[in-house]
């Protein structure tokens, strides 16, 4: 990793240089093939107040460059904020690469063939299921179940094979249809 430190309108002291290089070294933990990092530190005076500006240009292999510009009253604070933003950007790129695996075209074709065969096998098989709704039940049994539950009505088939509905009325009585 090549590191280039530049100062515009200010002189970079040894303390500032060591702080910048130690901060840049923390970016190597993402294993992102960082080719070079260019740091430009400058000061601007607006309305009689001096502001420090730090610009990081991080060049990555086979990817776009990351450009981060940070302004602050203190140069060290601007460096720290810019480094945290750079770490966040590199973490996003790293997570995007590790979480999204590239799948080849042949693998997709093979998977689609397997899905087609599975759906064809499922279409041919019919499994009969007997529901409780169709078993004949006594009216008294259904009435007891309806009293114990919070249901408003119950649909069932009686012993004569008729579909019946037992329901609670507003006057606390039960109706049978």
Of residues 37 and 108, which shows the higher confidence score? Answer: 37
Q: pLDDT averaged over the chain? A: 84
Topology of the domain comprising 2-99: Double Stranded RNA Binding Domain (3.30.160)
What is the pLDDT averaged over residues 141-159? 86
- Residue 69: the pLDDT is 96
Radius of gyration of the CA atoms of the chain, in A: 37
Distances (CA, A) of 24 to 10, 108, 124, 134: 20, 41, 63, 74
Mean pLDDT across 128-149: 78
Q: Which class does domain 132-176 fall in?
A: alpha beta
What's the whole-model pTM score? 0.55
pLDDT score for 154: 86
Query: Residue 146: what pLDDT?
Result: 87
| Confidence band, pLDDT 50/70/90 cuts, at residue 155 | confident
Evaluate if residue 4 carries a pLDDT over 80.
Answer: yes
Check if the beta carbon of residue 33 is closer than 8 Å to that of residue 61.
Answer: yes
Give residue-wise pLDDT tens across range 12-68. 999 999 999 999 999 888 878 899 999 999 998 888 888 999 999 999 988 889 999
pLDDT greater than 80 at residue 7: yes
Any idea where the domains of the chain sit in the sequence? 2-99, 132-176
**pLDDT tens-digit readout, 64-92:** 899 999 999 999 999 999 999 999 999 99
Q: What are the residues whose beta carbons fall under 8 Å from the beta carbon of 81, sequence distance 6 or more? A: 70, 72
For residue 133, is pLDDT > 60?
no
């Amino acid at each position: 990793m090549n590191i280039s430190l530049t100062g515009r309108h200010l002189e970079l002291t040894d303390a500032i240089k060591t702080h910048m290089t130690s901060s840049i070294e923390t970016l190597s933990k993402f294993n992102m093939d960082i080719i070079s990092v260019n740091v430009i530190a400058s000061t601007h005076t607006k309305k009689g107040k001096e502001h420090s500006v730090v610009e990081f240009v991080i060049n990555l292999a086979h990817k776009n460059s990351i450009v981060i510009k940070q302004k602050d009253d203190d140069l060290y604070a601007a460096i720290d904020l810019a480094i945290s933003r750079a770490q966040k950007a590199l973490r996003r790129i790293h997570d995007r690469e590790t979480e999204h695996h590239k799948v080849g075209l042949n693998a997709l074709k093979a998977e689609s063939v397997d899905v087609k065969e599975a759906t064809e096998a499922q279409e041919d098989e019919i499994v009969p299921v007997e529901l409780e709704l169709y078993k004949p039940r006594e009216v008294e049994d259904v009435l007891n179940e309806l009293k114990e539950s919070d249901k408003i009505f119950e649909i069932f088939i009686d012993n004569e094979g008729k579909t019946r509905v037992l329901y609670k009325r507003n006057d606390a009585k039960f109706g049978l249809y």
